[in-house]
Structure 1
Amino acid sequence: MEAKRHIVHIDLDSFFVSVERKFHPELIGKPVIIGGSPERGVVASCSYEARAFGVHSAMPTKQALKLCPHAILIRGSHGRYGEASREVTQIIHDTVPLYQKTSVDEFYIDYTGMDRFFDCYHEATKLRQKIIKDTGLPISFGMASGKTIAKMATNQAKPNGQMFVKHGDELKFLAPLNIGKIPGLGESTRNKLYQYGIEKIGDLQRTNIRFLETIFGRYGHSLWEKANGIDHSEIVSHSDRKSISTEHTFHTNVSDPRTLETTLVSMTEELSSKLRRENKLSSCLAIKLRYGNFETHTQQQKIALTAAEHILIPGVKNLLKMAWDQHRPIRLIGVRLSDLCTGSYQINLFEDNEERIKLYQAMDQINFKFGDKTICRAAGMEIGTRNFNPFMRG
């Protein structure tokens, strides 16, 4: 008999805002927006007081300030948020048997099997209380038999709450919720379901799976499973380090900075696109240089979790400057993105704007449909046809 799964999803509520309020208590109770410039930036995070006016993440900052003109706009600090995230991660790492970090402020924990010895919900409650006590940050969690329902339970428990969907109660919990509560359900899919009179998850539960497959293809099957609480996806250990990398050997040794940078741009672009396609983020960036005499050097740096080349490309260029003795020609150059974890691209980069986010989405859709490098930055075009063969390795 298969053991009952006990999966916990943890989410730090309005993470960036909560961190800012630790340092600036005068912000408590006020509408706060963390994000880019009022002209072209987007909202990275916002307080619940701002959400009450219709503000949400990924919204253009200009639009957010129109909806909530009295909001306090803060540019934010990567370093401060990264440190707070590491503090929470360390507490979880020291406390639980198996966990997966999916973003700077989200975690999944697997307590499966521990119910023989402990009350899993009680253990999750103790963990939440410890994080709140040690970090001063509000946090919510949901516990359920799978990752999808656990995440939805967390969303229902917010702000600063907790919820347990007991085994056997999954359909009852899901049925009254709007279909928009299903994680990853896009606006176009939601609107199409509305056209067929499917508004609640209960409606989706009663819909014939063949009909959904006819309308949405393979995704229709996945949609039906989520609506019925079926989710067998595993918790991938945070300590299970993986990397994605690519190398290029030049026909003749190269000492031209522009050629080297162009090669790096193209490789980084290809790797970051692959990360987004596989729903992964990297927190460590590295380059490899091999000189004509086969002497090899690597240079790496820790970065905030990302899959965005507008963050990665300046990083690899900077590493090139640090690692390269410019008097020596290079035979081989490589890029590696490591310390990967599962997670989608986040609007937590304050240089983001609406056009850039839409650009990524459009590029990924075209490259997914017609093949890698169908569309890329001009800087990478001249070597775009070369075969870099990026690969995943453990």
Structure 2
Amino acid sequence: MIIHLDLDCFFASCERVLNPSLEGKCVAVGGRGDPFIFDKKPIADKKLMNINSGAFVPSLFHARYDSRDYFKDGDTLRGIITTASYEARAYGVKTAMSVHEALRLCPHLILLPPNHLLYHTMSHELMEYISSVVPVMEQYSIDEMFGDLSGWIAPEDTYDFIRDLQHQITMQFKLPVSIGASSSKWIAKLATSAAKPYGVRLVKENEIESFVKDIPIGEFPGVGKSFSAKMARYGIKTIGDAWRSQSLIQSWGRAGTDLYQRFRGQDHEPVQSKRSRKGIGMSRSMDHPIESRDELYRRIHILVRHWSHTIMKLGVNPTTYAFSLGYENGLSSKKQYTLYRLFNEQFLQHFSIEKFRELDLYPHSSVRYIGMSANKFTRHDPKSFDLLEIDNDTKMRHLTDALTQVRDKYGLDIIRGGGEL
């Protein structure tokens, strides 16, 4: 059997562990695109964590934001809700809603800035604990985990095991969790959704068809809006409809065949104790679009420094880089490049600035978005590095290693480039 754990209202639940007086009250954690990253004054408590990922989970953050100022931009409130307690949800507050709208629906809402260091730490500690009682665990996101009980817990004992596991987590960590179990990862995840809030649900193999038949196709993990719309054109609106459309779905190639097996709980996809990261990105949307190109490139220098530090901490060497700019008028410009260089910060700074200058096709328009990402690491695409650059890149790599160690010890802003000032 495979189990899936989903921590209920995780960010809000962590805040309640820290402050029990929040229990039973309308609580929400909000987020912004880090309004402080571009400050000219160095910030001492900036942290980098790369053990978790997922929606609304940055790898770079401050240890704790000031709740009085975090959502304010002059007289305007900015930000979105990332987690709302069930008490707040009763008033219509939900994830991705604007902070302004949430406070309109629930004026007595206790709105908190994110404390990502706390959330990462609690997630990591919980994962360590569960790994001590479940042999094979997969961290799916900061608040979701899979576990494989095969050969460890007899199928007939699964329900008692997950009920006890839920109790132990509540007692030891004070965190509410819902747990689903089935013979397939994705059916187990659906079982968790059915168990929420704070419940457990076991779906045996002979119960899968009756369990999934009325679930909307868009609720199945990995089925996005476009795929749901495509299926709807063929009259496939529920997973039960998909079960009856084998020939059609499998005619869509390997992806269709794999998806059909998932629908039936017959995919045999394993729980992966280690998940290979495929890309590293850094982006920011600006509350106030930038007209000055000097300020634009100052911000790009800052983002590239943080991006480089993340790449170094993960110990990978990208070979493909993508850059994008979004303008206030709705236009955008993006491009991707592949080259084989030994990664170092000096190379990335020079290369990024050069490519962003080429990318700025509308120099008289204000920029509202800056994005950059790297993928196709050398472990996935092994080729020789550029021989004309390898000697200099090796020297600069040693320097980047030293910079990474200093920033780890004294903070990400302790050493900054001249282009950031």
Partner Cα separation in structure 2 for residue 49 and residue 123 of structure 1: 29
Instruction: Kindly state the Cα deviation for residue 239 of structure 1 after the two structures are TM-superposed.
Output: 9.2
Q: Does 1:211 align with 2:248?
A: yes
Partner secondary structure for residue 184 of structure 1: coil
Indicate which of 269, 274, 297 corresponds to 2:372.
269
Task: Answer whether contact 2:345 2:397 (CA < 8 A) is retained.
Answer: no
- Pair 175,290 (structure 1): closer, same or farther in 2 beyond 3 Å: same
Shift of 1:107: 0.8
Correspondence 1:145 to 2:249: no
Alignment of 1:353-392 (within 5 A): none
The reply on whether 1:8 has 2:3 as its aligned counterpart is yes
- The alpha-carbon distance between structure 1 residues 264 and 129, as it changes in their structure 2 partners (threshold 3 A), is farther
Provide Cα deviations, 1:235-290, integer angstroms capped at 9, x if missing partner: 1114989853238759xx99799538749999x9342x569xx9xxxxxxxxx974
Say which of 116, 120, 123 aligns to 2:158.
120
Extract unaligned runs of 5+ from structure 2: 32-70, 278-313, 320-339, 360-370, 381-391
Q: Are 1:168 and 2:206 matched, yes or no?
A: yes
Percent same amino acid at aligned positions? 34
Aligned pair partner of 1:244 in 316, 325, 329: 316
Quick one: which of 24, 27, 36 aligns to 2:19? Answer: 24
With over 3 angstroms needed to count, the CA separation of the structure-2 counterparts of 1:31 and 1:260, relative to structure 1, is: same
Match of 1:181 in 2: 219
Q: Partner amino acid for 1:269?
A: M
1:113 and 1:297, CA in 2 relative to 1: closer, same or farther beyond 3 A?
A: same
Map 1:246-261 to 2 at 5 A: 246=318, 259=350
Q: For the aligned residues, what is the CA RMSD?
A: 4.2
- 2:29 maps to what in 1? 34
- 2:265: which partner in 1? 229
Report the alpha carbon displacement of residue 99 of structure 1 after superposing the two structures with TM: 0.5
Q: CA 1:141–1:261 in 2, change beyond 3 Å: closer, same or farther?
A: same
SS of match in other structure, 1:58: coil
Provide, for residues 97-152 of structure 1, a one-character-per-residue CA deviation record: whole Å limited to 9, x for no partner: 11111111111111112245982333333222211111111011001001101111
Amino acid at match of 1:172: S
CA contact (8 A) 2:215 2:239 kept: yes
Distance in 2 of aligned mates of 1:255 and 1:237:
35
What is the distance in 2 between the residues matched to 1:66 and 1:163? 36
- Write the distance in 1 (CA, Å) between the matches of 2:169 and 2:396: 52
Tell me the TM-score normalised to structure 1 length: 0.61
Q: Does 1:61 align with 2:99?
A: yes
Q: Describe the shift of the 1:257–1:153 C-alpha distance in structure 2 as closer, same or farther (beyond 3 A).
A: closer
Question: Does the 8 A contact of 1:254 with 1:260 survive in 2?
Answer: no
- Distance between the aligned counterparts of 2:137 and 2:162, measured in 1? 12
> Counterpart of 1:291 in structure 2: which amino acid?
K
Going from structure 1 to structure 2, the CA distance change for 1:15 and 1:260 (only over 3 Å counts) comes to same
Match of 1:297 in 2: 401
**Which sits farther off after the overlay, 38-47 or 128-137?**
38-47
Residue of structure 2 equivalent to 1:373: none
1:9·1:107 contact (CA, 8 Å) conserved in 2? yes
Measured at CA, do residues 116 and 27 of structure 1 come closer, stay the same or move farther in structure 2, by a change above 3 Å?
A: closer
Distance 1:15 1:196, change over 3 A: same
Q: 1:55 to 1:243 in 2, by over 3 A?
A: farther
Aligned length: 290
CA–CA distance in 2 between the matches of 1:203 and 1:33? 37
2:351 and 2:233 map into 1 onto residues whose CA distance is 52
Residue 86 of structure 1 aligns with which residue? 124
2:126 equivalent to 1:101: no
Q: Secondary structure at the match of 2:82?
A: strand
Choose which of 78, 94, 114 in structure 2 pairs with 1:76: 114
Partner Cα separation in structure 2 for residue 117 and residue 219 of structure 1:
30
